[in-house]
Amino acid sequence: MTENAAFIITQITNPLNLLLLLAGNVIGIVFGAIPGLNGTMAVMLFMPLTYGMETGPAIIFLLSLWIGGCSGGFIGSVLLGIPGSPSSVATCFDGHPMAKKGQAGRALAIGMTASFIGTFFSAVVGAILAQTVANIAFAIGPWEYFGLCFMAITMVLAISKGNMLKGLSSACLGLLLASVGYSPIDAQARFTFDNMYLMGGLGMTVVLIGIFGVSMMILAHAKGFDPLPTVDNSMIKGIGIKLSDIRENIVNISRSFLIGLGIGFLPGMGSGLSNLVAYSAAKNNSKHPETFGTGNPEGIWASESSNNASIGGAMIPMAALGIPGDSCTALLIGALTIHGLEMGPMVFRNSGDIVYLMFVVVAICAAVCFVLQAVGMRIFPQILKVPYHYMYPALIVVSLISAYVDSSSLYKCGMMLFFAVVGCIMAYGGLPQSPLILAFILGPTMESNMLKAFQNTETVATFFTRPISCVFNVIAICCVFSPVLKALYARFFRKENKQIAHEELKLNGNK
């Protein structure tokens, strides 16, 4: 342990490594804030530069890119209403309405504080429990993963603002879009119509930016632009929020942190799922759920503390099992392999210093991002002063560039515009977008695990005979039929109250 501590201190105090850490965080924040870009893309683009570095500096630079991208994703969601990645989708729901009300500084302050809390403490918990918690994830099979995805999709139907049928329709549409391309087991082409561009499926960037971002700009233009929000930075004192704000939301933060950490250490899940589940949990447990989606700070606390908590959680299966928790950890495993490190159960014995260096770097990057965002918090809201007729065309150009960079194909740019039209139709019909996005994200994982489960057994009963899987599936079914169950409960409870009142009245009459 002493040798590990000495190695970590040597690496962290190296001036070149500190410069790489600062540069990586700045680049990551920029990538995270720009719609269509994210920390994963930053790691992908800059990873070749680390091949000639030593292991310590390479890890520090790549992790700082990742943490900066995850922490900076809320900036675009708050200021522009366009999620830069699936992990920032739920932040749009209340972050952008707050910015429209002139509370952009407060929304950014909540986002950066929640990001710091989620990242820092998840790194601490990950370092302490990496070897123990990984055994739990390793024991979970495809039945449990299917149940978790099923439960997550049905739980987010609570965001459908009371119309369960429209929420289910949106989720089914998301599952349909997720099935485009080759099937995961037999590699049969589905819904491709002999189009080579659809063989690999629909890109996440194309669907996400098209339905959320471009459609929002089209609808805003059609309705007529609202007056520019008033941006008054003179009201921002210190970091923009008080300690009392954290105390008031401590239950929400703790619950969301645990959701993010738990989902993060499940291989293949990650922040794209955790932020929506945490948002749904916050809304269901709120005293005023009707205010969600109109600028409720609780939604930002839930989304940002959960998606950043998934960082430390995702590092647990990466280090202890060699299994990526999300797409970025998959890239990091590849980069570490190039440097001669093989992630897995033996890594703590063979390269424990490197593993604990990773957790320490994540914790330090959380603090660095917090400071950088606190400094820039008074500058970021100035974006809202740009007139809409200048901002929206520029954003559409950036969106088209993002779609092209993601696929190197102009065809996908056209697909993004098509999904923008789909988003407009959904808004006209009152269909919520969140169930569609979550179903699209989880659809491939849900399908592949279902097929793996049926390869082991041909009966559906297995999904209910395994305890953890049974719990997930029962919760999911109850979520789907929750309106019926609530109506039956209310009817029974009302009938029982009437009967009690009648008996009391009869008893008083006899007296």
pLDDT for the residue 19: 93
Rounded distance, CA 180 to CA 187, Å?
12
Q: Tens digit of pLDDT for each residue in 251-303?
A: 999 999 998 888 877 655 666 678 888 888 888 888 888 888 888 888 899 88
- Give the contacts of 82 (CB within 8 A, at least 6 positions apart): 35, 76, 92, 209, 212, 213, 216, 395, 399
Helix segments in 250-326, DSSP class H = 250-264, 271-284, 297-320
Catalogue the E-assigned strands of 87-242. Answer: 181-182, 189-190
Least confident segment among 102-111, 119-128, 203-212:
203-212
- DSSP lists the bridge partners of residue 181 as 190
Compute the mean pLDDT over every residue in the chain, rounded to the nearest whole number: 78
- Give the contacts of 476 (CB within 8 A, at least 6 positions apart): 147, 150, 151, 153, 154, 155
Q: Tens digit of pLDDT for each residue in 180-223?
A: 888 877 778 888 888 887 887 787 778 877 887 788 778 777 77
- Contact at 8 Å (CB) between 46 and 61? yes
pLDDT for the residue 235: 53
Q: Tens digit of pLDDT for each residue in 313-325?
A: 778 777 766 666 6
pLDDT for the residue 194: 81
Q: How confident is the model at residue 225 (pLDDT cuts 50, 70, 90)?
A: low
Strands 189-190, 181-182: pairing kind: antiparallel
Measured in whole angstroms, how far is the alpha carbon of residue 108 from the centre of its chain?
17
Query: Is residue 462's pLDDT more than 90?
Result: no
Q: Tens digit of pLDDT for each residue in 29-80?
A: 887 777 656 777 777 777 777 877 888 888 889 889 888 888 877 887 887 7
Query: Is residue 141's pLDDT more than 70?
Result: yes
Kindly list the domain boundaries of the chain, sorted by start residue.
Answer: 2-480, 485-511
| The two structure tokens encoding residue 484 | 């019926």
Which is higher by pLDDT, 179 or 377?
Answer: 179
DSSP 189: E
The percentage of the chain sitting over the pLDDT mark of 90, rounded to a whole number, equals 3
| The two structure tokens encoding residue 325 | 């928790």
Integer angstrom CA distances of residue 266 from 136, 356, 402: 9, 20, 29
